[in-house]
Amino acid sequence: MHMADALLSPAVGTTMWAATGGLIAYSAKKVRQELDERKIPLMGVLGAFIFASQMINFSIPATGSSGHLGGGMILAILLGPYAGFLVMASVLIVQALFFADGGLLALGCNIFNLAFFPCFVAYPLIYRKIVGNKPSQGKILAGSLIAAIIGLQLGAFGVVLETVFSGISELPFGAFVLLMQPIHLAIGIVEGLVTAAVVTFVWKARPEILEAAGRSLPIGEVEIKKVLLGLAAAALIAGAALSWFASSNPDGLEWAMFKTSGKEELQTDESLHASLAVIQEKTSFLPDYGFKKAKPVTEAKHADEETAPWPAVDPGTSVSGLIGGGLTLLMAALTGLGLKRRQGTA
């Protein structure tokens, strides 16, 4: 559900950048009040895990579409909403800058859609209400499933509204929303099941992590090495190998766009879009999660999709998964270290 710049007008894009920037500043202020040193490596490893997991698109049966994990609910449940929001922002910034996944103008929208709704709406108002202060495997499953579905539905609806307010005539509200919501319902079910599996693993290994996140408290002296190693191993395997098995079908947003307009990508004549595209071309050293090709990325992508075998064993994909996960880990951990240092000097 990563939006491209062509889906947004400069006015809507910059407005959402401002809104998201405000949320980042507010979240950073809140994290400074609760952060301890043990939470910093957890932020980094979870960021790497979400980055790698988002590379694995799964097919949606009978649709010709695919979806991938959002990850906002996992981050909110295990880190709390504020740290979770910052880590998701780190994931999306790395994807946009270095892998050309999502536009630079659209980055504010993508952070808002994929982080705000799960962290600040679905987590406190749905997941916490269902699971309460005495988690069980059944409560975690129910809470994760319902919260993930609602969070993703709100995010998908946010995409629709942002395109409508941008005046994208190729994507009229009625037709677009009737495609976006059902396909993201299917994706949300898978997201909820994966969320429940990851949260249950952490809950069984170290329930104190969930308790600390739910009460916005430091983790304290709890030993979390087992959890860190498990998540790090999952991130390495997902990024380096499982990413080969990603579906080549268009994701839910691209599918809905194609069904509505006949195009998976829209063109724009905005000079701001063109300028940002030039910047992104220079910063993205592994565009579309692979080595750069001689021809334009979009043309190469479609040509490869027509002939690529499955699984797509590609060293460029593995390198992207490992480097991207490492960069996200570094960015999320440095964010935590920076906030911790400011906490000490405040």
Going along the chain from its start, the domains and CATH numbers come out as 5-345 (1.10.1760.20)
* pLDDT, tens only, 201-228: 999 999 999 999 988 888 878 889 999 9
Per residue in 43-91, pLDDT (tens digit) is 999 999 999 999 999 999 999 999 999 999 999 999 999 999 999 999 9
Query: What phi, psi does 61 have (nearest 5°)?
Result: -55, 140
CA 311 from centroid of its chain's CA atoms: 23
Q: Which of 160, 117, 116 is nearest to 7 (CA)?
A: 160
Name the pLDDT band for 1 (thresholds 50, 70, 90). Answer: confident
Assess whether pLDDT exceeds 70 at residue 300. no
CA-CA distance, 194 to 67, in Å (whole number)?
A: 13
* Whole-number Å distance between alpha carbons of 297 and 343: 43
pTM score: 0.93
Q: Is the pLDDT of residue 265 over 90?
A: no
The torsion defined by the Cα of 286, 288, 293 and 297, in degrees rounded to 10, comes to -130
Question: Do 63 and 47 form a contact (C-beta atoms < 8 A)?
Answer: no
User: Which residues make beta-bridge pairs with 59?
Assistant: 66
pLDDT of residue 346: 58
CB distance 206 to 88 below 8 Å: no
User: 8 Cβ partners below 8 Å, 6+ apart?
Assistant: 16, 103, 105, 106, 109, 162, 163, 166
* Mean pLDDT of the 185-193 span: 97
The phi, psi pair for 259, rounded to 5°, reads -65, -30
Determine the pLDDT at residue 215.
86
Q: Are residues 160 and 177 in contact, defined by beta-carbon separation less than 8 angstroms?
A: yes
Residue pair 60/182 in contact (Cβ under 8 Å)? The answer is no
